[in-house]
Amino acid sequence: MEIIIKRIFMLNSDERLISVDYKSKFDDKLIITLEIGIVTLFRRGLHAEIGIEYLNEGKAVYKMVHLTGRGSSSGDSNISLGNGSGPSQFIPGVSSEGVVQILDLSNKPVKKEGESISWEVSKKKALALLHYAERNPLQKFNIYGHSNFVNRIQQLAGYEEFYSCVSWACAVLNIAGINIKYDAVNLFIYTPSLISKSTIEAVSPVDITTLCKFAKTGNTEAIITNFPPEGSNVNELTSYATSGPVETFLGTYSPLSIAVSYGQYEVVKLLIEKYHALPNQLIGRREDHTALDCAYKNFWFSGVKESAKEAVQNYLKSIGGKFYTDLSHQEKVVASRNEESSVSKTVGM
C-alpha cells in the first residue's frame, strides 16, 4: 500500500490559519505537529528499521534510519534492506563493519510492509534519535546482536558492543524515550524473533538503566530530553544496566560513576551541575568507591584516553570530590546508600 501525505489545516474561530499539521506517513492514525514527532519501528522479515517524522519550518520531514552491513543497497520506494557484510557477521564473537544509513523519504513514496508500531514523542526526542544516528555512522555489526551469549561475554571483558539491525534499533529507541524490554541474554537466537508485535507493544518508561546507558556513551542530548532535572533522581544505584569491565568490577553503580569511569567529562559535569549528582556517594559491592576513586582506577580494557581521565579527575577535585579513604566516618555514613533516606527509587520522565 502506497502512503499519500495529507496536510491538516488548523483554523481559529476567525478562520485564520493557526498551523499546518501532517498525517504520519507510516501510521495514518497519528498526526505530526510543531511539538510532536512520530517514531516508528519496522520489522520487515529479518530486518529492522526506524522511521522518524517531524516538522521543520512548516514542512514534514520523513527519515528512515537503520543499521546494515557494508554492501547493502536500497530502493527508493521499498526500504527493506538486507545485511550483506560477509560470513563474519554470522559468527558469534566476531564483528564486521556496520553502517548506519539515513534515508530522506520526504518527497518519495513509501510502501508500508511488514510489522510496525508507532509512538508519538516530543519533537526534541525524535531529533535526539536522528542526531545520534548522524553522529555515529559506524557500528560493530554481528547478526546475533549484543545479547548473544558469546558477544555478551566479550562486552564484560571490555570489547565494543556488537549490534544486529534489531538490537541497534531497540537500543537507539531509548533515546526517544521508548524502552523495549527485549534484552534477555540469548545463545544463538537471531534477535528479530524477540520483537514480535506483541513484544514491542510492551514498552516500559526509560529508567535508571537507560540513564546509565546514555552516561556511558556520552549522550548528553538524550539525557536532557528524557530526564528533566526537576524530579529526576540520578543518585539511584543499579546493577546490570550495561555490560563492561567497569560494571563487572563495581557490581553496583550510579550514572555518575559510569560516566566518570568511561571518561565522559560533559556527562559528569551535566549530572553534577544540573542534576545534583553526589560525587562522594558510595558505590561498589562493598560501598568503598567514590566518583574520584573511579576516575583514578585503571579498569581493564575500558579504552579511556588519559586526557579524558585527567579532565574528569581535575573537575571532581575542583568541586570537592574525595577518595573513599579521605572521607571521615560521618561523611561515609552520609554518603552510604543505606543512609540515603531521601533517595526515591523513581527516575523522572
At 166, which amino acid appears? V
Contact 322, 267 (CB under 8 A): no
Question: To the nearest whole percent, how much of the chain has pLDDT over 90?
Answer: 42
Residue-averaged pLDDT of the chain = 77
Written as nine digits, the cell of 69 is 552491513
Can you give the pLDDT at residue 281?
95
170: Cβ–Cβ under 8 A, 6 or more apart, which residues? 41, 48, 180, 182, 183, 195
Predicted structure pTM score: 0.76
Can you give the pLDDT at residue 241?
77
pLDDT in tens, 276-286: 999 999 999 99
pLDDT in tens, 303-330: 788 999 999 999 999 999 999 999 988 8
> What's the gap between Cα 77 and its chain centre?
28
Spell out the CATH class of 214-339: mainly alpha
Can you give the pLDDT at residue 316?
97
123: Cβ–Cβ under 8 A, 6 or more apart, which residues? 34, 35, 36, 37, 54, 55
Phi-psi region of 93 (alpha: psi -120 to 50; beta: other; left: phi over 0): left
Structural domain boundaries of the chain?
7-11+18-204, 214-339
pLDDT in tens, 110-158: 776 777 889 999 999 999 999 999 999 987 766 665 555 555 555 555 5
Can you give the pLDDT at residue 349?
34
- 245 confidence band (pLDDT: 50, 70, 90): confident
